[in-house]
Homo-oligomer: A and B are copies of this chain.
Amino acid sequence: MLFRLSLACWMFGALLLCWSASPCMGQSQAFPHKMPSTKPDIPLSTASQRLFEYPAPLLQDNPLYTQFKYTPLQGLDYHDGDGTVTRRDPSRPILADGKYHIWYTKRDTVVPPIGAANAEQATDEIPSTDWDLCEIWHATSVDGFTWEEQAVAVPRPPKPQPGWRSVATPDILVWKGRYYLYYQAFIEPSGLKGDWCAVSVSHADSPDGPWTHTYQNVVPTGPKGTWDQDAVHDPMPIVYRGKIHIYYKAAFNKWPDERKRYAVGHGLVTSDDPLGPFQRCPLNPVLHSGHETTYFPFKDGVAALSIKDGNERSTMQWSPDGINFEIASVVDMPPVACAPFTPDAFTDTDDGRGITWGLCHFINAGTAGKRHSILARFDCDLSLDVDDPWMRGNKIWFKPEVYFSQGLNKAQRQRIEQANAAAAASSAPSTE
């Protein structure tokens, strides 16, 4: 259907090409005052053509548009915010035995991280980055707002097993009654060569464990020379079209460069067995925008949230096949490391109902020298079963102070004042 749409667009384009040689000279059927629900059969600008390829022409009717609302979590202690305790990169919550369960990266170290640039000074006790020397912990909640930390789910395995240095950024799969935690398994301090690692897996027959570590890189890095040769990050499983689909991310194309240019790709591996082997989708990357990965079944396809990185940052996307994604909307302030509660993530649904809440993280909690990450809750209306008009506004009305907090630095101000004044002077009338 996607390609049929492409064909239709192209044929329209060709017609327009002939017709629009003198585009503003002629008379034509004008665009109507009552918004059509499907593409009208009149000459259209490319923006008007695109309008009818979104889930709905009116933003307010677009089921893949939402505002996000944020609430602090209760019940988790951060050691008075001294920087030694971090919780980040939550899994999606799942509901089991009357409770919501999450897993996340927890760092509880003697000192705050010394930074990726100083990774060579990292020791067995001193972390390089915020996700170095971490373990995967488990917490539960009955309301999704107040959480009770339970215990470590996946500790670091003994050296030299994958993850001995750090296990981080977990997500959960439920498959045939068993529970599988996928996570990044570091074998060196992150930051040393980059953020290099593959994905490992542990499994259990209850969300409360005990968890069996496989000591295997179940999703290994890609072949040398390919985009994901160094890293498989942020594994996020769903069950779709009968198979386990794990989406993941790799930053790549990092060469020393004063601009810190890098690319981000998001890939897909599939398998019939949660312990693998997994096959890489030959069309990878399936997305080039977004930092962490967030995917959920939506209608008969798969929706994704792309934040931060790439030309399509801050967009909701949708694909009819889990592979070929198109922009569905542009959103403000999307959750970072978004992990939505998705009751149909593992049911192999062909009628995904969407999401209404989940967890995310903020990595800039605390003051300078005590920076750490905290988990938080978001709510939204990306659901076919909820209709919340307060979450469908088209703009966040930040106070002017929030804009002014994004101000010029001293060097910028100086450069700009000089340029503006020089331009003004050069345009001044002669006083001779």
Contact = CB atoms under 8 A, between A and B. Distances in A.
Nearest to A425: B98
Contacts of A45: 283-287, 323-325
A47 B319 CA distance: 10
Contacts of A51: 288, 311
A30 interface: yes
Given A13-B3, A420-B144, A428-B97, A47 B329 contact: no
A427 B43 contact: no
A427 B227 contact: no
Contacts of A48: 283, 285, 288
Nearest to A243: B24
Nearest to A27: B282
A72 interface: yes
Interface string A295-329: 00000000000011111111101010101111111
B406 A67 contact: yes
Contacts of A225: 30, 32-33
A222 interface: yes
Interface in A30-82: 30-35, 43-48, 50-51, 54, 57-62, 65, 67-72
A332 interface: yes
A371 to B, nearest CB: 11
A416 interface: yes
B59 A313 contact: yes
15 contacts: A2-B46, A27-B282, A30-B222, A30-B226, A31-B285, A33-B227, A33-B229, A54-B311, A58-B263, A71-B407, A98-B424, A98-B429, A315-B330, A376-B403, A391-B412
A25, A99, A142, A230 interface centre (most CB from chain B within 10 Å): A142
Oligomer: number of copies: 2
A379 B409 CA distance: 11
Contacts of A420: 100, 142-144, 357
A402 interface: yes
Contact of A402 (B9, B389, B402): B402
A97, A312, A409, A415 interface centre (most CB from chain B within 10 Å): A312
Given A45-B323, A46-B326, A48-B285, 16 more contacts: A16-B324, A20-B321, A24-B281, A32-B226, A35-B253, A48-B288, A50-B312, A65-B311, A69-B406, A69-B412, A70-B403, A100-B424, A143-B417, A291-B395, A308-B395, A314-B332
A282 B23 contact: yes
Contacts of A287: 45, 47
Nearest to A5: B13
Given A10-B7, A58-B253, A282-B26, A265 B330 contact: no
A95 B419 CA distance: 13
Interface string A391-432: 110111111101110111101100111011101110111000
B70 A407 contact: yes
A40 B308 CA distance: 25
B58 A379 contact: no
Interface string A218-260: 0000110111011000000000000100000000110000111
Contact of A288 (B47, B314, B324): B47
B285 A47 contact: yes
Interface in A131-146: 142-145
A421 B284 CA distance: 40
A58 B67 CA distance: 27
Contacts of A324: 16, 45-47
Nearest to A55: B311
A333 interface: yes
A23 B412 contact: no
